[in-house]
Amino acid sequence: MNKVFVFFILLSVFSIAFIAPLESEFIKPKNFPKPKYNFQNNPFDSNKINIGRALFYDPILSKDSSISCASCHSNYTAFAHVDHALSHGIADRIGFRNAPGLMNLAWHENFMWDGAINNLEMQALAPITNHLEMDEDLNQLLAKLNRSIFYKNLFKQAYGDDAISTDRFLKSITQFLLQMVSANAKYDSVKNGNAIFTSQEKNGYHIFKKNCATCHAEPLFTSLKFEQNNLAIDPNLKDMGRMRITQNPQDSICFKVPTLRNIAFTFPYMHDGRFSKLQDVLHHYENIQLLTSNNKRIKIKLNKSEKVDLTAFLITLTDQKFLFNPALAFPKKLLLLNRRKNE
Amino acid sequence: MYFKKLILLFLYCVAIYREAPAQSQKTTFFLQTDFDQLYLKDSVKISKCAIYLTNFKFYNQAQLVFVDTIKAHLVDLLDPNPIQFNIAANLVYNRVVFNIGVDSNTNVAGILTGDLDPRKGMYWAWQSGYINFKLEGILNTKVQQPFQYHIGGYSGNLNAIQTNSFEVYPNNKYTLSFNFMPMLQYFFAQKQFELMSPQLKAVQLAKLLSENTTCTKVQNLSNE
């Protein structure tokens, strides 16, 4: 018995080695740390990514089928909600925060400005069920999807049978969100030795490292911690940020540090979208004293030319390949052609 | 393909290899809510009472001898099904330990299935986390006052999970009673009719429920 047992173990180890690489893998950019997402629980599969992509762009997720994830997260602006300080949901209901850009989510452990969501897989539930956003009920939504021949076929291809469960639904969306990796900006080319900064950008990089990098840490350009940057509280929104979740006064008006990647495209800025231009942001930072969550004091003083150089550096964080990645765009063929054929 | 088949064959062998001896014993927990009926009378009508019981473990003295393979049981206390454990016949134990509520690791583990599926209505979508227990109803005074208490929270000092431990023995049936009365009395005295998010008060109330949970042996029922 034992010998047979060992034989099968060895055999299966070998065969796993052959089979595993067939699925698409998550490719970690060279200059990035190890991602935080647990890929073993949800191994990549091109069919599942496809479902996630269809769902992301499909208004079927909202109660009156008017709004998709992409309504607030547009791929041409690094998935931010451009021109809207506060996001708009169904029936023109206005939310209470600015929709951030979506990128490099595999490295995050907390989501939303206040970290209310603790796992990327659970993220989609928040806007779907939020009265001000998509206002849909999870059971209703899954019933709706289970009535769709189009989705039933897609799930059958990906999962072996056509049952659309919460788990399959959320894991598929997650696989698509994990595709949003931005690591091909000029900054990355410089880091990888394939390009060089202009002298202005180089100077801007020095200013950045001195003043901003504690919170907007490289290479993700966010420490992913909850910090505050001395913005005055908006008296209408009274948003206490992280404290809303932890109830800890130390977290009062702390927000998750946003990434600065693709920053030229993700305006308006801050959790409430109060600044519409980068210039306004730098104006906020030009003469300021900040205290970080681990009690480090940061004094920032920026003159006019330093602000110009800093801006030049921030623009090197624009990733054209990401912004115009066809694999992340609206899936025309799938949603328009195939779907019509099917329904 | 060839290799995949071999793996299946391998798993099949393991399954045969691991099949346990058929004999087993049953330890059963009947669950019930224990309201003070006199106090309740017509004055309170409970419309929802649901609770997560998780991580059942059986001990013989200090030694862990059996762990429930089902992580979480969501129990509708207005219409409860008994929880039954199939334990090998020769196993000796004298204590069961379980949690009221969902532990932090499970709370951050992403999407889960079975009783932990968010479709079961015990998950806060806007702020990740399970609701450890829910109590909803109407208080009939001069006006009909609805009340709604969703108790949960998993992180830091807002962690509302409770651990209970009772003496139990093989081949027996027990009743687990959850007495929500002290909790209701607390809320009604304060005229608080809603508590819907993780907070320190929720932790206190979870503790109150845990302290008012009892386990008694069912009498006059012969073992199957």
B173: Cα separation from own chain's centroid: 17
Closest CA to A210 of A292, A305, A301: A301
pLDDT for position A169: 97
Question: Does residue A14 belong to any structural domain of this protein?
Answer: no
- Which has the minimum average pLDDT: A123-127, B88-92, B104-108, B190-194? B88-92
pLDDT for position B1: 46
pLDDT bin (cut points 50, 70, 90) of residue B173 is: confident
Q: Are B217 and B174 in contact (CB under 8 A)?
A: yes
Question: Does residue A12 belong to any structural domain of this protein?
Answer: no
Please check whether residues A327 and A239 belong to one and the same domain.
no
pLDDT for position B80: 86
Average pLDDT over residues B63-69: 94
φ/ψ of residue B169, rounded to 5: -130, 155
Q: Which of residues 108-127 of B touch A (CB under 8 A)?
A: 108-113, 117-119, 123, 125-127
Residues, chain A: 343
pLDDT for position B79: 86
- Which has the minimum average pLDDT: A6-15, A124-133, A268-277, B101-110? A6-15
Rounded Cα–Cα distance for residues A296 and A290 (Å): 8
Q: Is residue A12's pLDDT more than 80?
A: no
CA-based nearest distance B120→chain A, Å: 9
CA-based nearest distance B20→chain A, Å: 16
Do residue B111 and residue A122 have CB atoms under 8 angstroms apart?
A: yes
Q: Where are the domains of chain B?
A: 29-217
Strand B72-76 with B162-167, pairing: unpaired
Residue A119 touches chain B, beta carbons under 8 Å: yes
| Alpha-carbon dihedral sign for residues A246, B185, B213, B30 | negative
Q: Is residue A65's pLDDT more than 60?
A: yes
pLDDT for position B97: 96
Q: Is residue A29's pLDDT more than 50?
A: yes
Q: Is residue B20's pLDDT more than 50?
A: no
pLDDT for position B217: 87
* Residue A288 burial (10 A CB sphere; 0-12, 13-18, 19+): middle
CA-based nearest distance A82→chain B, Å: 23
Do residue A130 and residue B125 have CB atoms under 8 angstroms apart?
A: yes
Q: What does the block give as tokens for A284?
A: 């906020």
Q: Are B158 and B203 in contact (CB under 8 A)?
A: yes
Distances (CA, A) of B31 to A207, B69, B157, B161, B219: 65, 19, 29, 19, 15
B27 or A282: whose pLDDT is higher?
A: A282
Q: Kindly provide the ipTM of the predicted complex, given to two decimals.
A: 0.86
Cβ–Cβ pairs < 8 A, chains A and B: 88
**Helices A278-285 and A304-315, axial angle in degrees (round to 10):** 130
| B-chain residue closest to A9, CA distance | B10
pLDDT for position B16: 39
For residue A245, give the 3-state DSSP assignment.
helix
> What mean pLDDT value characterizes chain B?
84
Average pLDDT over residues A168-181: 97
Question: Does residue A18 belong to any structural domain of this protein?
Answer: no
* A4, A128, A245: residue with CB nearest B127: A245
| Alpha-carbon dihedral sign for residues A145, A147, A149, A153 | positive
Do residue A165 and residue B117 have CB atoms under 8 angstroms apart?
A: yes
Q: Are A172 and A47 in contact (CB under 8 A)?
A: no
**Cis peptide bond prior to A219, omega within 30° of 0:** yes
Q: Are A274 and A268 in contact (CB under 8 A)?
A: yes
Do residue A119 and residue B128 have CB atoms under 8 angstroms apart?
A: yes
pLDDT for position B17: 41
- Which has the minimum average pLDDT: A39-48, A106-115, A328-337, B183-192? A328-337
Q: Is residue B22's pLDDT more than 70?
A: no
Average pLDDT over residues A304-319: 97
Helix or strand holding residue B133 (H, E) = strand B131-140
B64 or B10: whose pLDDT is higher?
A: B64
pTM, two decimals, is 0.89
Q: Which of residues 36-75 of B touch A (CB under 8 A)?
A: none
| Chain B residues in contact with A138 (beta carbon < 8 A) | 118-119, 125
Q: Is residue A124's pLDDT more than 50?
A: yes
Please check whether residues A206 and A141 belong to one and the same domain.
no
Q: Which residue has the tokens 């609701």?
A: B131
CA-based nearest distance B171→chain A, Å: 34
Please check whether residues A128 and A217 belong to one and the same domain.
no
* B4, B107, B119: residue with CB nearest A19: B4
Q: Which residue has the tokens 């997650």?
A: A174
Do residue B7 and residue A245 have CB atoms under 8 angstroms apart?
A: no
What per-residue string of b and e applies to B193-220 under the rule 16 or more CB within 10 Å gives b? eebebbbeebbebbebbbeebeeeeeee
**Cis peptide bond prior to A43, omega within 30° of 0:** no
Q: Is residue B14's pLDDT more than 70?
A: no
Average pLDDT over residues B173-194: 90
Please check whether residues A163 and A216 belong to one and the same domain.
no
Q: What does the block give as tokens for A316?
A: 């090197």
pLDDT bin (cut points 50, 70, 90) of residue A90 is: low
Rounded Cα–Cα distance for residues B199 and B152 (Å): 8
Average pLDDT over residues B22-41: 65
| Chain B residues in contact with A42 (beta carbon < 8 A) | 110
Q: What is the CA radius of gyration of chain A?
A: 22
Rounded Cα–Cα distance for residues B53 and B100 (Å): 5
Question: Does residue A34 belong to any structural domain of this protein?
Answer: no
Residue A135 touches chain B, beta carbons under 8 Å: no
The count of structural domains within chain A is 2
In chain B, pLDDT over 70 holds for what percent of residues? 81
Please check whether residues A135 and A261 belong to one and the same domain.
no
pLDDT bin (cut points 50, 70, 90) of residue A143 is: very high
Residue B155 touches chain A, beta carbons under 8 Å: yes
Q: Is residue B12's pLDDT more than 60?
A: no
Q: Are B73 and B83 in contact (CB under 8 A)?
A: yes
Do residue B126 and residue A121 have CB atoms under 8 angstroms apart?
A: no
Question: Does residue A343 belong to any structural domain of this protein?
Answer: no
CATH number of residue A281's parent domain: 1.10.760.10
Rounded Cα–Cα distance for residues B74 and A267 (Å): 44
> What mean pLDDT value characterizes chain A?
89
Average pLDDT over residues B190-203: 94
Please check whether residues A193 and A177 belong to one and the same domain.
no
Residues spanned by the domain of A150 = 39-181+323-338
Distances (CA, A) of A182 to A70, A81, A120, B84: 18, 17, 17, 51
Q: Is residue B83's pLDDT more than 70?
A: yes
* Residue B116 burial (10 A CB sphere; 0-12, 13-18, 19+): buried
pLDDT for position B21: 43
pLDDT for position A139: 92
Rounded Cα–Cα distance for residues B155 and B159 (Å): 5
Q: Which of residues 185-244 of A touch B (CB under 8 A)?
A: none
Interface test with A, best of B105, B128, B200 (most A CBs within 10 A): B128
For the beta carbon of residue B103, count every other beta carbon within 10 angstroms.
19
Average pLDDT over residues A183-205: 97
Cα-Cα end-to-end distance for chain B = 47
Rounded Cα–Cα distance for residues B79 and B76 (Å): 5
Please check whether residues A153 and A249 belong to one and the same domain.
no
pLDDT for position A339: 72
Rounded Cα–Cα distance for residues A265 and A82 (Å): 8
